[in-house]
Every structure is written in structure tokens, then in C-alpha cells.
Structure 1
Amino acid sequence: MKNAWLILSLVLFGCGQQAPTVNDIANSSMNTIQWQGVYHGVFPCPSCDGMDTTIELLPPNKYIIHTVRLGSDPNPYRGHGTFQWDKTGNIIVLDRGHIYQVMPDHLYLLDIEHKRITGPDAERYRVDKVKGLSQPVGS
């Protein structure tokens, strides 16, 4: 019975996963790139022509999101809130549940296990940083 509890606890607490080191965190996206800014892209959508998505990331840990269901819903969604960095400093979790991997010039939408979405549309689960935007989304 003790062995069963040991195995269960190892599985539940991430056997094989190492905690990030101080050096890993110092070199994370949170600390090394300019993550603040506006990102835009069109995500795949099974019930519409795509989800036109704009996300603005603001310090300290705030976001504004604007989405439009292309070809089906003329009413855009506009929301805002806060996000948290994961323990690696490379992934953000919006308070509405969306999970993104932060890269120098784009964000990848991740699945609920914090993994990149795979398949033929994998690169479509990305929003790119908008350069030279004259007016922020939040205004």
C-alpha cells in the first residue's frame, strides 16, 4: 500500500519535472524580452471563419482583449483583466483561462496542459506583435 501512495504522489507532483533554477527564471521571457505591447492574429474557429483576436499586454500584469467571430457574429467581445506568469516565466495565464507562451515577437495559444497546439493549423494558434501601432487598443 505504501508503494501505491508513493507512485501516486510522484505522478501527482510531477515526477521527472525539475523546478526552474534561478538562472532559468533570470533568462525567462518575463525578464528578457519586451513582452508589453499589442498582439494580433486570427485563430481557427470550428463554427466561424476565424477568431480575429487582438491582445494588449500591459505592466504590471494586465491585458485587454478584443475578439470578433468572423463570418458569424457582428458583435465583438471586449474584455480586460489580469494575468499571472507561470513558474518558468515563459507562460502567462489570463484570468479568463487562456494560456499563452510568450516569445519575442508573438504569443502562442496553448492547450490546458500548457502545451503547444499541434496539427495542420498549429501555426494559426499564434498572435504576432504589432509594430508601430499609433494608438493602443485600450484607448
Structure 2
Amino acid sequence: MKKQILALALVSVALWSCNVDTKTVTVSIDTVSPIESDTIQEDSTLIADDHNAQNSLDWAGSYKGTTPCADCEGIETEITLNNDATYIIKAKYLGKDTKVFQENGSFSWDKTGSVIVLNDVKDRHSKFFVGENTLTQLDIDGKKITGALSDKYVLKK
């Protein structure tokens, strides 16, 4: 008899501990008075993140690297960007000539603030993506160059 009472007590405790209590919470919402329509100004423009390469990175300085060349060993390239939106490009065609070609001019930022366009360049790509201590040469359409040699188009500070 004690065993039956003990078993019944254990089953009761087990069932009672598995019972889930549900609680009801009542939330009251205060009413808000209507707003006059002439006090609301609609702005249909999206709020964009104001951080970009132009205003968030220390982009001014000299960037160097050797970019691929169709008829030489490579083009040893140095681009210096100045705070006054001017640039200097120095290029040496390796295995072809010892002369260093130099061009000066101004550059402008695209609307994203992450790409510069070198104005007045002759016979070379003019768009570069500005990254953290890097300039990445872009193709004619302004897109990143892909493929096996894509890392060769990155100039480093």
C-alpha cells in the first residue's frame, strides 16, 4: 500500500511539474490626438550612409604598383593624389624603355564618393576605386577587373 501511495505521489509531482502556467497580460494604449496634415513634411529621398572613401579615408598620398602590360613586362605605376584634387601619374614601361612618363591633372569623385576619375589622362584608364590604402584600377565601364590578374591592378600606399 505504501508503494502505491508513493508511486501515485511521484506521478502527481511529475505531472504537476510539467504543467505550464499561462499568464494574461493586459496592455492599455493611450490615444494620440490627430496631427494636422499641414504640419507634416514628406521627404521622399532615402537617407544614405554619409560614409564613403572621399570623406572617411585618408586617401591623399602616393600609390604604387606594377600593372599588366600587353607588349612589355609590366607598367611600374605611381599615382599621387593631392588634397586639392590634383594628381601626378608616373609610369615606366618595364623591359621596353627606361623613360618615366609623367602626367599631371585634376581628378573628380563620382556620385558614390568611392571612385575617382582622372581628368585629362591620355591613353590610359582613368577610373580608380579608392579603398583603405589602395587604388584599384577599374575597366572602361568603371567596374572592377576580374580574372587571374585582377590583383595586379591594385596600387598600394
TM range (shorter): 0.7 to 0.9
What is the 5 A alignment of 1:23-38?
23-24=48-49, 26-38=50-62
Instruction: Give distance in 1, aligned partners of 2:65 and 2:78.
Output: 7
Instruction: Give distance in 1, aligned partners of 2:97 and 2:141.
Output: 29
Q: CA 1:76–1:31 in structure 2 vs 1: closer, same or farther (change >3 Å)? A: same
Structure 1 residue 22 displacement after superposition: 5.5
Q: CA 1:21–1:120 in structure 2 vs 1: closer, same or farther (change >3 Å)? A: farther
Instruction: Give distance in 1, aligned partners of 2:80 and 2:129.
Output: 15
Task: Please tell me whether residue 91 in structure 1 is matched to residue 119 in structure 2.
Answer: no
Q: Which amino acid aligns with 1:54?
A: E
TM-score scaled to structure 1, two decimals? 0.74
Which consecutive residues of structure 2, in runs of 5 or more, have no partner in the other structure? Answer: 1-44
Instruction: Give distance in 1, aligned partners of 2:89 and 2:140.
Output: 19
TM-score scaled to structure 2, two decimals? 0.66
Instruction: Give distance in 2, aligned partners of 1:106 and 1:115.
Output: 16
Partner residue, 1:74: 98
Structure 1 residue 73 displacement after superposition: 1.4
Greater relative CO, 1 or 2 (CA 8 Å, sep 6+): 1
Task: Please tell me whether residue 105 in structure 1 is matched to residue 133 in structure 2.
Answer: yes
SS in structure 2 of the partner of residue 123 of structure 1: helix
Which consecutive residues of structure 1, in runs of 5 or more, have no partner in the other structure? Answer: 1-19, 130-139
User: Which deviations, in whole Å up to 9, do the C-alpha atoms of 1:103-127 show, x marking residues without a partner?
Assistant: 0110100011110011100000010
Aligned-pair identity in percent equals: 37
Partner residue, 1:46: 70
Structure 1 residue 98 displacement after superposition: 1.0
Give the alignment's Cα RMSD to 1 decimal.
Answer: 1.5
Larger radius of gyration: 2
User: Which deviations, in whole Å up to 9, do the C-alpha atoms of 1:75-121 show, x marking residues without a partner?
Assistant: 11011100010000000000115100000110100011110011100
Instruction: Give distance in 2, aligned partners of 1:48 and 1:22.
Output: 48
**Which stretches of structure 1, 4 residues or more, deviate above 4 A after TM superposition?**
none
